[in-house]
Structure 1
Amino acid sequence: MGRKRVMGMSAVSGLIYDLPVPVNLSKMWNFGSLLGLCLSIQLMTGVLLTMHYTASSAEAFNSVVHIMRDVNEGWVLRAAHANGASLFFIMLYLHVARGLFFFSFFSRGAWWLGAILLCVLMGVAFTGYVLPWGQMSFWGATVITNLLTAIPSIGESLVQWVWGGICVGDPTLKRFFTFHFSFPFVLAGLALVHIIMIHESGTSNPLGVDSNGDMIPFHPYYTVKDLVGVALTLTLFGLCVCLCPDFFLDPINFVPADSLKTPLHIQPEWYFLFAYSILRSIPSKTGGIMALGGSVVVLFFLPLYPKSVFKSIQHNLLSSVLFYFFIGDFILLTFLGMCPVEEPFVSIGMVATVGYFVFFLVYPMSWYIYESVLFRVSKGVSELKKD
């Protein structure tokens, strides 16, 4: 029994404590630990909030008001949980961007599991946005779930199953609450497997070269580095929660849900705005839904790209330009999601949507072209030296 315990501790130590990593990992590798911090914040505050929340269409909004006004430090819990979702997605998008830049998607299993984690997190975030049962919560749930009607044959039945009736109401809220409360624990389990898969496959060198002969243990070098990032993030997050707790919250959602009053401009939370812009840029409902799903599904195809000789694009001018173009396009789509559905925002959104998908088609060709040219140049130089 003691030997098994020692072996188990040795395995855990090899994956975390004594994990060999390159000596030159930058701050871009901090986002993984910061995502773990965000998940911990959301789990702790979420469990505490459920002790006072009532999953009922008649009492949900009032229970949120009760938490903020009557529960001791309840406003801190609610602000931390609501703003923690935004912090989670900020770190997640930075983490994905780092993976795109340093070709992390070539670790197929870890990348595919990470893409699944992204999908689960989006589902958890969407259902959580509905729980306060404000105006934007109600109408956001109505609009987004109605998209399922575009599925041939089963669309109408599927929507009614999600709603638990013929419209968004009390059964819908209860189902969303169940999903929102239970799936974060599934998310935590998948995240643990994701970490194990990454550490077993090894951490890549930022320079894109083999660093097996120049490795150091993860602790204490990178645990201290990660703790600095955690301290800085908690400081900024604490300032946001205490000084501007409504910074990421939609003011329309502070009005109780009313099925007879439609808001002038229905929009999701900011971290879904890029997908919302893609959805509404396609005139066809079915085409818009396919583009919306494709904006996330396309991440699953990245590991199938032809492998690059180099493991990052920092020395590849063509790929770097495309990468930063994609980042700008993503920010533009997020901004357009906040704009009304009118010109010139509609036309710009169509162009930005095309740019979003074109990136994933052109990106793999960019490093192939670069490496082909580099090979020809190096071959020509070597031939000149021989002459």
Structure 2
Amino acid sequence: MSTDTLILKDQFPGLAGGWHYLDTAATAQKPQAVIDATTAALGRDYATVHRGVYARSAEMTLAFEAARRKVAGFLGGAEDEIVFTRGATEAINLVAQTWGVTNLRRGDRVLLSTLEHHSNIVPWQLLRDRIGIEIDVCPLTADGRIDLDAAAAMLTEAHKLVALAHVSNVLGSVLDVRRAADLAHGVGALLLVDGCQAAPRLALDMAALQCDFYVFSAHKLYGPTAIGALWARKAILDAMPPWHGGGSMIDRVTFAKTTYAPAPQRFEAGTPAIVEAIALGAAIDWLQDVGLARAEAHERDLAAVLRAELRARNDVTVFGPDDALGIVSFALDGVHPHDLGTILDEEGVAIRAGHHCAQPLMDHLGVPATARASFGLYSDESDIAALLKGIERTRRIFG
């Protein structure tokens, strides 16, 4: 355990008392810097944005739009390519219900993969039921990666969109986004990437990745809940119609006709998540100060240690590739993951147990659920030791 890690862990009030939190893939704990930014924005600095003529409103507007610039810089995109949403789920639904409804027709095809989160499956099924598109599913390699060789063989000019996870929330496997983009563009399709698990761990550059849409949720990135972002190429965003109607997204309203604000504002109807956006900006500042390269190495190393420990047992099945990024899913023979999670909680260890909003992947793995340990920048080997101790206790209870 490094001194550096201990100092970092001390920045997280939610971990006081020695709690071993191994559920970061579900939601990350918040550093004090984000909590302080939230408190200030909700307290002494609070005002509405965009329409107030008084000084504090103007200052809050500057802070809110500064958060948008931070998101743009974090992703390597432009400020007018960033739409604030309630999270990745809403961002994907926004694309489906705006770009999808405008550009897809009956018989057009969308390619997903076996490991997708439900948030990147259900919106396309809703669109299928509405307009008659077809959904194809790319298989996985033996070690749990999206099989891009299979994707290359499956893609045709009928495919208009490829939508894939950058990092699996169950297996921790990492997608070669640039190759996926090249394959999609090769048949004239666009690429949407679910970046929820990648954004907190990998340095991102939209120009290098060459995708067309990228989404993430703030709460997995050490920020608040109820906010996330959609990045889309400016030309694509400009051509997309609005989704929700109301204040802020308009240019001029009459009973005869309404004209809309330019992107991204026309996708942000109503009073925005002001405090949450500012706190997201603080989370990005904090994470960039720590360093994305450090995040990736730290969490990948911890995952490798845990995988080795689990594979040394003869009663554990470990899923996913050996170079999983910060996520380890496993099954303890004869013990339902929910029972394991309950006993671990008694030991002060928090893991995830269930299907992780990836039921098709569970079917592929041949299990109803898995136990999942996932790491953050506050994690260290003491968390692994506590997990292994809890697994031993569980084994004694279940025999």
Q: Return the TM-score normalized by structure 1.
A: 0.26
Larger radius of gyration, structure 1 or 2? 1
Q: Which has the higher strand share?
A: 2
